[in-house]
Structure 1
Amino acid sequence: MTRWNRALRGALLTSALALVSAAQAQTANTLTISSPQDPGSWDPIDTFLVNWSAVANNVFDGLVARTPDLKIIPALATEWTISDDGLTYRFTLREGVTFHNGEPFNADAVKFSFERLLGEEGDKGPQKSNYNVIQSVNVIDPKTVELKLSRPDPVLLTKLTGYGAMIVPPAYIAEKGDDYFNTHPVGTGPFSMTSYTARDAVQLKAYEGFWGDKPKLENVTFRFITEPSTALAELQSGRVDMVIPPSVPIGSLPTIEADPKLGIVSTAGATVYSLRFNTRDGITADPKVRKALVMAVDRATINEAILAGQAKPIASFQSEQTFGNDPSLEAIPFDTAGAQKLLDEAGVKPGATLQIDVRGNDSTFNEVAQAVASYLSTIGITATIKPYETNVLLNDIIPAGRTGAMWQQTWGAWTFDYDNTAYLMYHKGERWNPYGNDPKLDALLESQRGMTNREEREKVLHEIARYVADQALEMPLYNLNQIYAINKRVKNFIAPPDSRLRLTDVTVE
């Protein structure tokens, strides 16, 4: 080999090593996450989806925030006071904060954000009813703002940590319009959104002007992978670093745990699963039939056989961590003979059919639904399972009242307060209650929202749960852990119980 060839070879090798080193450095500062769902809009007032918050909790801030151990801490507000009557919330705002487009954050931005949420634009989305106790937003000075309430709301401070209460930039929205904002969001969070391709991926970049501790990552990519098996294959291949709930099927846990590069992070959370009933049409309009269907299913065996110790049975549609949970409430028992008796009393003949609607990409729940159908067959009910694309089921089928007799309801209950579940599930006119119209239940739901006495309010929430169980408005199934599958090179990740990721401290080796 000539001296020139040796020199060329050495230069090429040095160049290749430099490229590898650069690629490794880039990879070390980049986190890639598999998310099962593209929310379709990144506007905080357009959504209720946990998978929206997994991304957008890094883009937007509220006046306050909530830590993984559920403590409420300052965010865009440094301090706050609440009047003795619970009707006035005064916030002192953080100074020197800018939106990702350079626009300053101030009291006018807070006023704009809430008036937009409570106005015509908010009418188009699902978040307004969470905040409609806010009667007015008053700017005291550029760094002080007051929320005036029409009645006390004991959960309001928690609601201000997420979703519709995120603060948005007035000038940017005025210039670009709401439709543009849906796909090009701007917030004050630790990461800015640099690109979004519908149904494919979203790219985040660390925001140098962030008001808090700067992110340790430079880039975060969320890939929208609807099929859990595909997400797992991408994790195993190293093309994604993390798979977030609910994309980690219970059945895949042994495979993940057997891979030395991978690990499971599991934490108790608020997410609960049920099969809701169409209470307006068909055989499930009869409460006797609904109760019979609940009694026919051995939910304890389903938990043991399918959920591998990652779930707990529930008697009402809430976790044991939720304020309002009644540990003394007993679930409707598994009783095949009793179920058959109720069906006979209701005049339901053997061979009756019903449809169960599910999210097609939730493989674990599809197993559960198959088990439920099998149990129903023992009392002469033929159940067919109809899978839907998640966004279609949530945005079209359920709100329009076009479901089968039963449908999958998965709920994150991110406030950890039963009100945020019960009001939205059971009150007349709410998105998740397409069939119900029960004045007694509505009155109970409304009464607790104005209560400031914690113990009295808890009693009413217990009464609501008992009433719902008595009417058998749903088949409560289980409270599932939040299960994350991660590459072990991901460090400093603390699994949040509500799936609302905040990635400022995460690193990738």
Structure 2
Amino acid sequence: MMMEPSHAPSFAEYWNPPTDFYGEPIYGGHLRINYEDPLDHANIWGAFSGVTARLRVPTHNYLVEDNPYDAGKIIPDLARGWTNHDNATGVTMFFHEGITWHNGEAFTCEDARFTLETMVTGEGLTTSEMQGKLGFLDMDSSSCLDNTTLELNFVEPNATAMLAFTDRAAVMFNKAWFEANGEDAMFTDITVGTGPFTWDEGQSVGVDEQNFTKNPNYFKDGLPYVDKVTIFGILDESAQQAAMLARQTDWHWVRNWGQYDSYVENDQIQTVIRATRGHHTLWLNARNAPFDNVRVRQAIMMGIDRETGIRILQDGHGAAGFQMSPGSSWELDQATGCAVPGWCPPEDGDWDARRAEARVILEEENFPFDETFTFTVESDEQVQARATFFQEQLRLLGVQTDFDLVETVAYRKQTSEGSWGDILPRNDTMPADDPALGMGYYFRCVSSNNHWSPGTDCDEKAEQLLDAAATTIDPAERKEISDELQLYTMEQYWRFPLYWEQEAAAFWPDVRGYYHHPQPSSSFVRWEHMWMDPSMKDAGGYSGQTSGVPGGL
């Protein structure tokens, strides 16, 4: 007798477009996406960046996905259903019948098993984005029971596995394609996916206009709604804004508050905002003296005025917060977090006294004020502006710095290898509202986003707390572990969020079906859930921040 999943919701149960706000879905049309970086490569598996998600997600699928209409809810994708093993020791995935790759080959369980094995081992990849996030998988004891059934066993009980499978980088690839072409194909070839859109013929990765066409053989009946998607990579922020206002693009994840203001003033552009998981952080390189000294790191962080950073860089649209997103159920309470020196502003507002206190600590630790330290800065206009603020804050402490501007691909390589300079300012995104997956993304020793490793010893206490957060099921116990982990990492001053952002998306009135998610790269960038309604093209009355857009404020 064929096994059947214990959880297999029908499509109608979970696919619920917000028709009360947008009306009924309409088929056809062309959706044009305004994206902020060069479309330089597509290796989401071994050299992850936001652009790789933009290029791969429309053409690929996950085991399960984050509901594009209801952020945080997990729904079927390649798997039509699943059965959780007793005591959270594994899960069995049941795939849809008849899934095909864009080259006509059949998708099989072995493609998924091999993808996961490659992610876990990192074999053949420059730096496996998912290695640290899927460390709970025991691939030696996991296997395909048949072509549509994958049994996954865990090393130990795990409370966050299903959430990990929705990660932006957890897309499945074709085993034969990878074995024949290696990682080179991951950078340059987008022809072999299972997703709702196929990559148009005759294109090359590296060109900042990429076109995708509706997949006529998509395994999800009735999707996608639009016939064509074009993604424009526009690095210059004024050019992004000009293209949007000229109606050369339809949808834009807002990059700065000048753009926000111009879109809000437009009578036809809908602009939606929410608190997100995006944040700007400062890392200090513990491989390099004097930043191997925790008191030096503490003094540096103490001297950074986060309130001024929010006012200048975010026009006040941000929150200080701690290691987990403000507003999250995992957020530390204010009194507990502020008890760690430097994480909250001085109660009396006296920043001169705070900096004097920090300077005393640096002097006690014989800080070399005559040396110049290197900021490794991605050559991105927004990151440079934010790094300049950090540089000025350090100057007020007497710390001398220079910028080393690095183009994006080389920057990603340096941060994953640990070859960056002394100070690393960067835009970051909390990948999941979960302590094991979220903080594990930055603090797991094997994670490519732990910018202290390789080159430093694994922190045993952090690893133990992360393991406990991943294996503990009881929510109250997990919260206690999460609080302890956050406090411990804050006391080490490994990474310091300058602020957590409010972020916005803007779109013209004929764009329908959009639900605002808490991060810029999520299931919504597959675009299968959105549609174009030409009857709304000339609609107006949207000036001001739009209220009512699903997912927004």
The answer to whether the superposition gives a TM-score over 0.5 is yes
Q: Please give the secondary structure, in 2, of the residue aligned with 1:134.
A: coil
Aligned to 1:148: 153
Counterparts of 1:444-483 in structure 2, within 5 Å, are 444-483=465-504
Choose the corresponding residue for 2:309, options 302, 306, 311.
Answer: 302
Q: Which amino acid aligns with 2:314?
A: L
Distance in structure 2 (CA, Å) of the matches to 1:220 and 1:172: 24
Distance in structure 1 (CA, Å) of the matches to 2:489 and 2:363: 23
In structure 2, relative to structure 1, the CA distance for the partners of 1:255 and 1:466 (3 Å cut) is same
Q: Please give the secondary structure, in 1, of the residue aligned with 2:361.
A: helix
Distance in structure 2 (CA, Å) of the matches to 1:369 and 1:112: 40
Q: Is 1:252 the counterpart of 2:271 in the alignment?
A: no
Q: Please give the secondary structure, in 2, of the residue aligned with 1:269.
A: strand
- Alpha-carbon contact 2:196-2:215 (below 8 Å) kept: yes
Q: Is 1:491 the counterpart of 2:497 in the alignment?
A: no
Aligned to 2:170: 165
Aligned to 1:214: 223
Aligned to 2:325: 319
Bigger mean CA offset, 265-274 vs 105-114: 105-114
Aligned to 2:93: 91
Kindly provide the CA deviation profile for residues 380-436 of structure 1, in whole angstroms up to 9, marking residues without a partner as x: 2233344322322222x2233333322123222222223334334334454322354
Q: Is 1:504 the counterpart of 2:525 in the alignment?
A: no
- Alpha-carbon contact 2:82-2:91 (below 8 Å) kept: yes
In structure 2, relative to structure 1, the CA distance for the partners of 1:228 and 1:123 (3 Å cut) is closer
Q: Is 1:420 the counterpart of 2:444 in the alignment?
A: no
Kindly provide the CA deviation profile for residues 168-204 of structure 1, in whole angstroms up to 9, marking residues without a partner as x: 2334445555533542232222111223431423211
Kindly provide the CA deviation profile for residues 263-288 of structure 1, in whole angstroms up to 9, marking residues without a partner as x: 43322221222101112213322222
In structure 2, relative to structure 1, the CA distance for the partners of 1:291 and 1:175 (3 Å cut) is closer
Distance in structure 2 (CA, Å) of the matches to 1:354 and 1:161: 39
Task: Name stretches of at least 5 consecutive residues in structure 2 with no aligned partner.
Answer: 1-27, 347-353, 535-553
Bigger mean CA offset, 480-489 vs 303-312: 480-489
> How many aligned positions are there?
477
Q: Please give the secondary structure, in 2, of the residue aligned with 1:275.
A: strand
Choose the corresponding residue for 2:395, options 377, 380, 390.
Answer: 377
Q: Which amino acid aligns with 1:226?
A: L
Aligned to 1:200: 208
Shift of 1:222: 1.0
Distance in structure 1 (CA, Å) of the matches to 2:43 and 2:394: 41
Bigger mean CA offset, 439-448 vs 189-198: 439-448
Q: Please give the secondary structure, in 2, of the residue aligned with 1:210.
A: coil
Distance in structure 2 (CA, Å) of the matches to 1:172 and 1:290: 46
Q: Please give the secondary structure, in 2, of the residue aligned with 1:129.
A: coil
In structure 2, relative to structure 1, the CA distance for the partners of 1:357 and 1:487 (3 Å cut) is farther
Aligned to 1:6: none
Distance in structure 2 (CA, Å) of the matches to 1:140 and 1:429: 30
Q: Please give the secondary structure, in 1, of the residue aligned with 2:132.
A: helix
After superposing on structure 2, the runs of 4+ consecutive aligned residues of structure 1 that deviate more than 6 Å are none
Counterparts of 1:57-456 in structure 2, within 5 Å, are 57-67=57-67, 68-119=70-121, 120-122=123-125, 124-136=127-139, 137-174=142-179, 178-185=183-190, 186-194=192-200, 195-212=203-220, 213-244=222-253, 248-316=255-323, 318-320=324-326, 322=328, 324-328=330-334, 329-330=337-338, 331-334=343-346, 335-348=354-367, 353-363=372-382, 365-395=383-413, 397-431=414-448, 432-434=451-453, 436-437=456-457, 438-456=459-477
- Alpha-carbon contact 1:39-1:47 (below 8 Å) kept: no
- Alpha-carbon contact 1:349-1:380 (below 8 Å) kept: no
In structure 2, relative to structure 1, the CA distance for the partners of 1:77 and 1:356 (3 Å cut) is same
Bigger mean CA offset, 471-480 vs 260-269: 260-269
Shift of 1:488: 3.6
- Alpha-carbon contact 1:267-1:497 (below 8 Å) kept: yes
Shift of 1:261: 4.4
Distance in structure 2 (CA, Å) of the matches to 1:436 and 1:97: 44
Distance in structure 1 (CA, Å) of the matches to 2:392 and 2:159: 43
Shift of 1:307: 0.6
In structure 2, relative to structure 1, the CA distance for the partners of 1:337 and 1:118 (3 Å cut) is closer
- Alpha-carbon contact 1:354-1:382 (below 8 Å) kept: yes
Kindly provide the CA deviation profile for residues 210-255 of structure 1, in whole angstroms up to 9, marking residues without a partner as x: 122322211111122222222222222322223336xx12233223
Bigger mean CA offset, 234-243 vs 61-70: 234-243
- Alpha-carbon contact 1:45-1:125 (below 8 Å) kept: yes
- Alpha-carbon contact 1:65-1:73 (below 8 Å) kept: yes
Shift of 1:326: 1.8
In structure 2, relative to structure 1, the CA distance for the partners of 1:175 and 1:274 (3 Å cut) is closer
Shift of 1:441: 2.9
Shift of 1:121: 2.6
Identity %: 20
In structure 2, relative to structure 1, the CA distance for the partners of 1:159 and 1:47 (3 Å cut) is farther
Distance in structure 2 (CA, Å) of the matches to 1:319 and 1:327: 12
Distance in structure 2 (CA, Å) of the matches to 1:362 and 1:321: 29
Distance in structure 2 (CA, Å) of the matches to 1:405 and 1:152: 38
Q: Which amino acid aligns with 2:240?
A: A
Q: Please give the secondary structure, in 2, of the residue aligned with 1:58.
A: helix
Distance in structure 1 (CA, Å) of the matches to 2:402 and 2:318: 25
Q: Kindly name which structure, 1 or 2, has the bigger radius of gyration based on alpha carbons.
A: 1
In structure 2, relative to structure 1, the CA distance for the partners of 1:496 and 1:196 (3 Å cut) is farther
- Alpha-carbon contact 1:311-1:481 (below 8 Å) kept: yes
